[in-house]
Structure 1
């Protein structure tokens, strides 16, 4: 089943890569490294550094908040797609979609800035039900490839 969102509709787009990660802290730098390695052959014109940072933030959130109750063996899945000239990255976890929200932390708060980074660097982002069950958070980097 395909879910559609108002901010940017899902269309059938070529998947450029995917990874499945264990929900451990070591998976965050692994996700950054793997994403850089797997996206580089496609030579995107958008900032790969920015994309890797956003992947890192979303994987961190998925690990911290993505566990479904009673689910002992779960994973975080990251997929990236070419949507015309844009790069779309999705992070899936078994948590509940209602839990994803943009926070406005105080200056002295140690956490809560991940989605603010996504909101400021990506052309758009949203969240909703994952086709694998649970939650999907995705962002789009516009102008990743020429028209």
Structure 2
């Protein structure tokens, strides 16, 4: 288990960050789908081709985090915020919603085999180098983030 409580200090201001993409999305399945597609496209533009392990891994992690923001972090009339950043050796994903009362567990539990949901954070835990949850400082809510270490793109 690799969860942590704080992400790397400010991706926006990280001098090692070569790339950054941020955007707000409607807290709907359509918004989650668009976020996932734009992340994959942005990674491709940054030198991580669509079929690469880095692109597929980060896109899958993004899909899980934005699905959770829509399903568990939805507040009517409020969007979720996505930030993707790339350094020479890592890709960072942050998904922020405005719901404070539904915070994911830092130690995701394996659901019973007949459960239809509950495996998303297990996937994030297995694929990410590290991940965690950070309370928002500018208002109510939380940020769930993940880091994936990657080889330097060619």
- TM-score under structure 2 normalisation? 0.79
Q: Please name the residue that 1:86 is paired with.
A: 90
Q: 1:28, 1:59 within 8 Å by CA — same for their partners in 2?
A: yes
Q: CA RMSD in A?
A: 2.2
Q: Does 1:145 align with 2:149?
A: no
Q: Please name the residue that 1:114 is paired with.
A: 120
Gap runs ≥5 in structure 2: none
Q: Does 1:104 align with 2:103?
A: no
Structure 1 stretches of at least 4 aligned residues deviating more than 3 Å after TM superposition:
5-9
Tell me the CA shift for residue 121 of structure 1. 0.6
| Distance in structure 2 (CA, Å) of the matches to 1:7 and 1:93 | 16
Q: 1:35 to 1:41 in 2, by over 3 A?
A: same
Q: Does 1:22 align with 2:21?
A: no
| Distance in structure 2 (CA, Å) of the matches to 1:35 and 1:97 | 27
| Distance in structure 2 (CA, Å) of the matches to 1:135 and 1:8 | 12
Q: For this pair of structures, how many residues does the alignment match? A: 139
- TM-score under structure 1 normalisation? 0.82
Q: Does 1:60 align with 2:59?
A: no
Query: What are the equivalent positions in structure 2 for 1:7-18 lying under 5 Å apart?
Result: 8-11=7-10, 12-13=13-14, 14=17, 16-18=20-22
| Distance in structure 1 (CA, Å) of the matches to 2:98 and 2:67 | 14
Q: 1:16 to 1:144 in 2, by over 3 A?
A: farther
Gap runs ≥5 in structure 1: none
**For 2:24, what is the secondary structure of its paired residue?**
strand
Q: 1:9 to 1:47 in 2, by over 3 A?
A: closer
Q: 1:20, 1:77 within 8 Å by CA — same for their partners in 2?
A: yes
